[in-house]
Structure 1
Amino acid sequence: MSKPRGLLTIDQLREAVDQQTIETIIVAFTDHYGRLVGKRFDADFFLDGIYKDGTHGCNYLLTTDIAMDPVPGFSFANWELGYGDFHLVPDLATLRVAAWLDRTAMILCDVKNEKTHQYIDIAPRSILKKQLEKATQNGFEVLAASELEYYLFENTFREAHETNFSQLRPVGWYIEDYHILQGTRTEPFNAAARRYLKQSGVPVENSKGEWGLGQHELNVRYAEILDMADRHVVYKQCLKEVADAMGWSITFMAKFAADRAGSSCHIHISLWKDGENAFDGDTAFGPVKCSDTFRWFLGGCIAHTPDVMVFYAPTINSYKRYVDGSWAPTRLAWSYDNRTAGFRVVGHGKSLRIECRIPGADCNPYLAFAGLLACGLEGIEKQIEPPAIFEGDIYAAAHLPRVPYTLAESIAMFSNSEFAKRTFGAEVVEHYTHFYKTEQAAYNASVTDWERKRYFEQI
């Protein structure tokens, strides 16, 4: 694949800075939620050394809740240790124009220890890189794509906040799945998003209306798995900021409203070796001709879903999406080109791949990709056989094992998983268990609109 438009070399950046078409460089990484955090540098100062030497960030950024409050109980960083710095090391392969911003470029960073300069194991990008390294050691290249869905509203983010997110006006007023007329009405946003992404090193395939009022999907071209995770992060940042600039708002919540379709992050994945799809083969497996590698990878993905479910569904809201008949998977099964399956196998020959439909649009791509890849690699190593193919309506198959239905359930499975501890490391499991328990505790302590409506008068 050719180098995407919008990616920059350092020499190209120097030229753009000299021509004053680039003045600001965003240096960033993702927190646990998948949000970009970091700094904006003057472009000349960045070129004077930051691109080689990196910069510093407060290590509390990997121990905060969504409101940016420091959370006690983490061994990685806390008040007793004084919340020191870690080292942000720019990955030059991610240097790109941020076309939606004025005279701005962006670069993503790895997070390393300030003293040892080793990767910080709990950083999301580090977790994915560790699994990618394992795949590489086994001779595999990993290609992936994530399909993100989102809801658009005519309210600004500020207006949404000031009305407690209760009086939002969707940009559409009927289900617009594949509907061109309704999609035309939102082209000012979606066309801008496609254009800016393409100009920012994120090649776009298409966009379309989805199965919700004001819901859309915009797909970008598949890539090597780390590159794809980076594209996913840039995509979300771009769309949020474009919506904000247009006076609209956008949400990647997994389930915006009980009576609306959820928003997913379907992940397509395949392994390649010596330029050939390692999933392709001559063995008949149901309707698929595949290799042992494919079969065992699929088996591992299904068998270990409960162990990594927190990476697919990281919030309380994530689990509201798993509703029968809602296009979201509720059972652990695989099928060929069947959208009721948690694992939908698609393509054939060189295009044969696995689509994991379990993650929601709220997932951190580094963690979700790492979880899926780790499960598949474990399947290959242990030669885990997948269950028989299921044909028909999986929603109606009550005998099949279901996906975990609550964050609390998933936390328990993750924290007690020997597979997770062996694969990601005990430190990672301990750290993220505390992180997700903090999210659960925040919800447990809250009083919701649902409770007031149900109990205020009637109890």
Structure 2
Amino acid sequence: MSTSQGRPSPYERLRADAEAGRVEEVIVAVPDLQGRLQGTRLSVPYFLDEAASPKDPTESAGSHPAESGGGFGACVYLLASDVEMDTGPGYAIDAWNIGFGDFSLRPDPATLRTPPWDEGTALVLADAVWPGGEPVEVAPRQLLRTQLDRLATDGLRAYSGTELEFLVFRESYREAWNRRYNGLETATSYNVDYSLQGLAEIEPVARRIRREMVRAGLSMETARAECHPGQYEIVFRYDEAMTTCDNHVFFKNGAKEIAAQEGVALTFMPKFDEGEGNSCHIHLSLRGADDSAVLADPDADGGMSELMRHFVAGQLACLADFALLMAPNVNSYKRLQPGGFAPTGITWGRDNRTCPVRVVGSGHSLRIEHRVPGGDANPYTATAAAVAAGLYGIENRLPLPEPHTANALADPSVPRLPSTLTEALHRWENSEIAAKVFGEAVVGHYAQAARAELAAFESAVTDWERVRGFERL
């Protein structure tokens, strides 16, 4: 089937690539709770004839969609597990209680692309659906889609961009693992923020990442070294919010694969050591159904429309309650501490990088930059949180306080963000706004993910404890 413009559809292009010998396999992947890609390789004929062939699941009553076409079966625990792939009770999906059965991964043809670093392979992202065809509501992609659908009801569309930072080390992933990630050597020796020198050892892998992402269809805007030794940032052009998040997980997965092939290691973790952390600033704007710049009003104070003022006010009102969706791990909060260049309070400012919500741009580019998420953020849940917060402000016509014009990091009068995962979990579980906006199942599911993370951390013995207590206690 061709597109409405007469161009070949993604699957027609895939079939042509397969017949020409350019593609042999298709990876069907679903973004998990951590924003990682989990999936399976399928032969191209099987993918096109079975997984990519949609059918009404009611045609075969009681059968799995993967068996009746239009999906591929995958175990339900993929969306109910922690970083170690451990699952258990407490999630909205109780894998043990339902016998580790399957849901169906339904490919989204709009996400099909060929990673240059994986020759002969195509990759497509999928949505998780239950046997009856209902979406799995706790799936990160569905979480975002639900909020975007709410926007669409009001005639609005969200556009976003994510800015991911990462650290590059000279050791391979295997060497880093064997060292338990201690004593690693960064690819640069000192602060190279904006520098054009001192990048000889980081540039080969960074150049390959840039080039191969562009070859895969991403539109790069900028790339530069950052503050922490070995730190780098690549920024890709904004797009509709779902597309941006899809590109984000594709980039993050691919960057690690390229690094491994180059014999080096890179990490997106928010806080690797006591130096500068890895952020993931999210830029978010809204447009009308007619593509109008609904956030801008050239005649208003600061060029911000009344809609935008409510939208920003909603960010502030919900930030503490929704922090868990933006900072989901113990390490997330090591970055959000005083003394670093990451937000610690709840306020907003016009082009003020010390605020968690920074307003920048004008006209169609007028937007917020959400500075809370780190490199570990799941882009779908973080963006869903920002969209939901903005809608809360719009629907309740929340007033916007005056912008912060000074250093918000050093102002004790600014209300504080949650400073630990425990505090963020408490705010999330007890939030009436979260329950109303996301539903009790989603709140409980992501609360369990946080509890699993905390339980793992609290049972671990750290290097800090050994240095502090081995000899002196």
Q: What does residue 420 of structure 2 align with?
A: 406
> 1:22 matched to which residue of 2?
23
- Following the alignment from structure 2 to structure 1, what is the Cα–Cα distance between the partners of residues 44 and 215? 19
- Alpha-carbon separation, structure 1, partners of 2:192 and 2:209: 19
Look up the match of 2:315.
Answer: 301
User: Partner letter of residue 385 of structure 2?
Assistant: G
User: Contact conserved, 2:223 with 2:235, CA < 8 A, in 1?
Assistant: yes
Contact 2:280 2:377 in 1 (8 A): yes
Tell me the TM-score normalized by structure 2: 0.93
Structure 1: 4+ residue segments shifted above 3 A: 282-285
Amino acid at match of 1:191: R
Contact 1:264 1:357 in 2 (8 A): yes
SS at match of 1:216: strand
Read off the aligned partner of 1:22 and give its amino acid letter.
V
Amino acid at match of 1:179: S
Superposition map of 1:223-242 within 5 A: 223-242=239-258
Quote how far apart the aligned CAs of 1:48 are: 2.0
Residue number among 423, 448, 453 corresponding to 2:462 in the alignment:
448
Decide which of 59, 73, 81 is 2:98's aligned counterpart: 81
Q: Which residue of 1 aligns with 2:393?
A: 379
Secondary structure of the residue aligned to 1:183 is coil
1:357 is displaced (CA, Å) by 0.4
Alignment partners' CA distance in 1, 2:318 and 2:449: 21
Secondary structure of 2:446's counterpart equals helix
* Match for residue 407 of structure 2 among 384, 393, 398: 393
Write the letter of the residue equivalent to 1:277.
A
Partner of 1:36: 37
Q: CA shift at 1:8, angstroms?
A: 6.9
Between the aligned partners of 1:75 and 1:110, the Cα distance in structure 2 is 17
Match of 2:83 among 63, 66, 74: 66
Amino acid at match of 1:31: D
Q: 1:200 to 1:24 in 2, by over 3 A?
A: same
Partner residue in 2 for 1:102: 119
The equivalent of 2:56 in structure 1 is none
Secondary structure at 2:199 match in 1: helix
Structure 2 letter corresponding to 1:65: D
Q: Distance in 2 between matches of 1:73 and 1:294?
A: 38
Give the 5 Å matches for 1:258-337. 258=274, 260-273=275-288, 274-285=290-301, 288-337=302-351
| Two-structure CA RMSD over aligned residues (Å) | 1.3
Q: Tell which deviates more after alignment, 43-52 or 405-414.
A: 43-52
Tell me which of 211, 216, 230 is aligned to 1:214. 230
SS at match of 2:52: helix
1:391-424 deviation line (CA, Å, top 9, x unaligned): 1111121110111100000000000111111111
One-letter code aligned to 2:269: M
Segments of structure 1 that go 5 or more residues without pairing to the other structure are: 1-6
Residue 149 of structure 1 corresponds to 165
8 A contact 1:346–1:353 mirrored in 2: yes
In 1, the alpha carbon distance for the partners of 2:439 and 2:153 equals 18
Q: State the AA in 2 paired with 1:346.
A: V
Query: What is the match of residue 173 of structure 1?
Result: 189
Cα deviations across residues 109-136 of structure 1 (Å, max 9, x unaligned)? Answer: 011012x101111111010000000001
Could you tell which deviates more after superposition, 195-204 or 160-169?
A: 195-204
Match of 2:59 in 1: none
**Residue 146 of structure 1 contacts residue 268 of structure 1 at CA under 8 Å; is this kept in 2?**
yes
Counterpart residue type for residue 153 of structure 1: F
- Aligned residue in 2 for 1:9: 10
* Counterpart selection for 2:180 from 141, 164, 168: 164
Q: Which structure 2 residues correspond to residues 129-144 of structure 1 after superposition, within 5 A?
A: 129-144=145-160
Residues 295, 304 of structure 2: 8 Å contact kept: yes
Identify the range of structure 1 (171-180 vs 38-47) with the bigger mean alpha-carbon deviation: 38-47
Aligned positions, number: 449
